[in-house]
Amino acid sequence: ARIRHYKWEVKYEYKSPDCYKKLVITINGKSPGPTILAQQGDTVIVEVTNKLLLENLAIHWHGIRQIGTPWSDGTEGVTQCPVVPGDTFKYQFKVDRAGTYLYHAHYGMQRESGLYGSIRVSVPDNFTEPFAYDYDRSIILTDWYHKSTYEQATGLSNKPFVWVGEPQSLLIQGKGKFNCSSSSLTADTCNTSNPECSPYAITVIPGKTYRLRVASLTALSALSFQIEGHNMTVVEADGHYVEPFVVKNLFIYSGETYSVLIKADQDPSRNYWMTTNVVSRTPVNTSEGLGFLNYYPNHPRRSPPTDPPTGPIWNDTAPRLNQSLRIKAHHDFIVTPPTTSDRVIVFLNTQNEINGYRHWSVNNVSFTLPNTPYLIALKNKLHHVFNQTPPPEGYDSVNYDIYNVSNNPNATTSNAIYRLGFNTTVDIILQNANTMIVSNSETHPWHLHGHDFWVLGYGDGKFDMNKDPEKYNLVNPIMKNTVPLHPYGWTALRFKADNPGAWLFHCHIEAHFYMGMGVVFEEGVDKVGELPSSIMGCGETKGFGKP
Ligand code: C2O
Ligand code: CU
């Protein structure tokens, strides 16, 4: 095993990712940041210097379980104090499983300012993967707003509430195309011929097979990704091998990663479109994501002679649910889940009004972060730091109508957490419901830090505690770290609480988590080793952590 050492400088710079010039957070001058390449068993060390001048920072290694290093999870308020301007913070962790992962900012809604990138962990020597390919490529899909994160956050916490709205454009590997002529912008602010926003191109050699690692880190949007004229075979999801299946378009939610195989077997005299489209929300003037599959030796900037393919109908949930149901563990790599669980927690997902402020809640509790990060508070038994009364295990599933707008008058904000018995098996039932808008239910991608879970099932409507568990897939469920909760549906997960620490479980939509859509699990915190002083310096540990 090797050590992969990185030194990163994080700062704001003017960039034009979608041709519109604005301040973007870069790592060593780039957004997306550098790809971390490592092999299973390696240790990654990233020394991050915060040069943002006025803004704190934390970086999360999305999909890395941080076994034995819970303080390196990079979750501000949960596992560390923020890295203040001018400071350098050292993240150190082991990449213990091959696969496709991500990193991104985890301080407020900072991720959507451009601080993100890929982590690609290769298999050990002498290990053969259950599929073959000639070349390996990665792309990250995002959506993009022209307003600053501050302006958005201010609106979300305002009375009356100001929603962030739909993104201005979709980016593929940090490049998109906003229609500059649609507004009265000067060429200095928005210029469609700026090379910074020329479509991202993946160059392929005719006849070769490519493993394309596709990840989504959208702030809001659920996406459909397609490559004109090419089918994709799904082979990996969140670091786990999938029983291969073929799709024309891949539905992908924020926080998910997939590997698909594509064969460059079409007419080699031209290039092909790669596109992304918004699904699950009404598309309002969001420029679609455009990239090129560039057949060598055609010029990588040459536009395909055809119109870009349009995505599927945005409001049809059935094909999305169907894709979710198709994702099963590869038959040679099945990790069988425990057949029973020790605890079942049901999470009702709702929108609420609390004291005139708009929130998202789980079981009518909207999550807030304490001033002292949980990991430090728990380890040092600082009980006054957060509310010690456990949050609810469920909701009134008999009387609650998930199909109608509900007032949820008893909603509260709280920083209470779920404490799990170490090594116990926990089931989570995510239950969707109507929002505060009539006949509206959204898609929420839920992401768990520190673990992978088995995806036991998805269903429509209200989860039935008596009947639905009988339909669980206990034979070959996929393991993932991020999973969609479809509109008016439920998703059932199982995981082992076997990683000592404090771990966030939250909706990966930036604005939703900011508005309280998350919970924290604690397990085996007494088994956590001595905390590095570098994670301290805020709340009750003010003054600590500085040499
Ligand atoms: Cu990728 Cu808590 O996030
Ligand atoms: Cu959400």
What is the C-alpha separation between 473 and 451, in angstroms, rounded? 19
* Residue 200 identity (one-letter amino acid): Y
Task: For residue 119, name the pLDDT band (cuts at 50, 70, 90).
Answer: very high
Residue 143 contacts residue 164 (beta carbons within 8 Å): no
Residue 321 contacts residue 458 (beta carbons within 8 Å): yes
Ligand 1 near 504 CB (within 6 A): yes
What is the C-alpha separation between 194 and 208, in angstroms, rounded? 32
Q: Which ligand ends up closest to the CA of 74?
A: 1
pLDDT tens digits, 250-292: 999 999 999 999 999 999 999 999 999 999 998 888 989 999 9
What is the C-alpha separation between 452 and 87, in angstroms, rounded? 32
What is the C-alpha separation between 480 and 253, in angstroms, rounded? 12
Ligand 2 centroid vs 515 CA: distance in angstroms? 9
Closest CA to 117 of 171, 175, 174, 55: 174
Q: Is the pLDDT of residue 547 over 60?
A: no
Residue 402 contacts residue 462 (beta carbons within 8 Å): yes
How many CB atoms are closer than 10 A to CB 335?
Answer: 12
Q: Is the pLDDT of residue 534 over 70?
A: yes
Ligand 2 centroid vs 517 CA: distance in angstroms? 7
Q: Which ligand ends up closest to the CA of 369?
A: 1
pLDDT tens digits, 201-240: 999 999 999 999 999 999 999 999 999 999 999 999 999 9
1-128 and 129-333 share one fold: yes
- Residues 26-40 have a mean pLDDT of 98
pLDDT tens digits, 233-253: 999 999 999 999 999 999 999
Q: What's the token pair of residue 544? A: 């600590």
CA dihedral 504→507→509→513, nearest 10 degrees, is -60
ipTM over 0.95: yes
What is the C-alpha separation between 140 and 8, in angstroms, rounded? 19
Please name the residues in contact with 48: beta carbons below 8 A apart, sequence gap of 6 or more.
8, 10, 57, 59, 83, 88, 89, 90, 91
Q: State percent of the chain over pLDDT 90.
A: 95
Task: For residue 409, name the pLDDT band (cuts at 50, 70, 90).
Answer: confident
Please name the residues in contact with 1: beta carbons below 8 A apart, sequence gap of 6 or more.
39, 41, 42, 43
Q: Which ligand ends up closest to the CA of 519?
A: 1
- Residues 95-101 have a mean pLDDT of 98
Ligand 1 centroid vs 255 CA: distance in angstroms? 7
SS3 call for 113: helix
Fold of 129-333: Immunoglobulin-like (2.60.40)
Strands 222-227 and 272-279: antiparallel
How many CB atoms are closer than 10 A to CB 391?
Answer: 20
DSSP state for residue 134 in the 8-state scheme: S
Ligand 1 centroid vs 102 CA: distance in angstroms? 9
Ligand 1 near 508 CB (within 6 A): yes
pLDDT at position 238 is 98
Ligand 1 near 32 CB (within 6 A): no
Q: Is the pLDDT of residue 184 over 90?
A: no
- Any idea where the domains of the chain sit in the sequence? 1-128, 129-333, 343-541
Ligand 2 centroid vs 217 CA: distance in angstroms? 13
Among 67-76, 310-319, 335-344, the least confident range: 310-319
Residue with tokens 């996929």: 478
Ligand 1 near 512 CB (within 6 A): no
- Residues 109-124 have a mean pLDDT of 98
Ligand 2 centroid vs 458 CA: distance in angstroms? 17
Closest CA to 257 of 294, 216, 229, 296: 216
SS3 call for 72: helix
Closest CA to 428 of 519, 325, 327: 519
What mean pLDDT value characterizes the chain?
96
What is the C-alpha separation between 212 and 139, in angstroms, rounded? 7
Strands 240-247 and 272-279: unpaired
Q: Which ligand ends up closest to the CA of 360?
A: 2
What is the C-alpha separation between 272 and 305, in angstroms, rounded? 8
Specify the CATH number of the domain 1-128. Answer: 2.60.40.420
Q: Is the pLDDT of residue 544 over 90?
A: no
Ligand 1 centroid vs 156 CA: distance in angstroms? 19
Ligand 1 near 111 CB (within 6 A): no
Ligand 1 near 22 CB (within 6 A): no
Q: Is the pLDDT of residue 339 over 70?
A: yes
Q: State percent of the chain over pLDDT 70.
A: 99
- 32: enclosing H helix or E strand: none
The sheet with strand 135-144 has its strands ordered as 169-172, 135-144, 209-216, 257-263, 232-237, 240-247
Q: Please tell me the residue having the least CA distance from ligand 1 atom 1.
A: 62
Ligand 1 near 120 CB (within 6 A): no
Ligand 1 near 369 CB (within 6 A): no
Print the SS3 string covering 509-544.
CHHHHHCCCEEEEEECHHHCCCCCHHHCCCHHHCCC
CATH class of 343-541: mainly beta
pLDDT at position 185 is 86
Q: Which ligand ends up closest to the CA of 64?
A: 1
Q: List, in sequence order, every residue forming a beta bridge with 7; answer none if it has no partner.
A: 47
Closest CA to 369 of 78, 20, 81: 78
Q: Is the pLDDT of residue 11 over 80?
A: yes
Per-residue burial over 439-476, b = 16 or more CB atoms within 10 Å of its CB, e = otherwise = eebbbbbbbbbbbbbbbbbbbeebbeeeebbeebbeeb
pLDDT at position 546 is 59
How many CB atoms are closer than 10 A to CB 91?
Answer: 26
CA dihedral 48→136→62→227, nearest 10 degrees, is 120
Ligand 1 near 447 CB (within 6 A): yes
SS3 call for 150: helix
What is the C-alpha separation between 103 and 118, in angstroms, rounded? 6
**Residue 299 burial (CB < 10 Å; 0-12/13-18/19+)?**
exposed
- Residues 494-518 have a mean pLDDT of 98
Ligand 1 centroid vs 111 CA: distance in angstroms? 9
Q: What's the number of CA atoms in the CB half-sphere (13 Å) around residue 404?
A: 5
Q: What's the token pair of residue 513? A: 């988590």
pLDDT at position 283 is 80
pLDDT at position 182 is 78
Ligand 1 centroid vs 126 CA: distance in angstroms? 32
pLDDT tens digits, 416-465: 999 999 999 999 999 999 999 999 999 999 999 999 999 999 999 999 99
Sequential DSSP letters for 418-487:
EEE-TT-EEEEEEE----SSTT----EEEEESS--EEEEEEEESS--TTTGGGG---SSBPEESEEEE-T
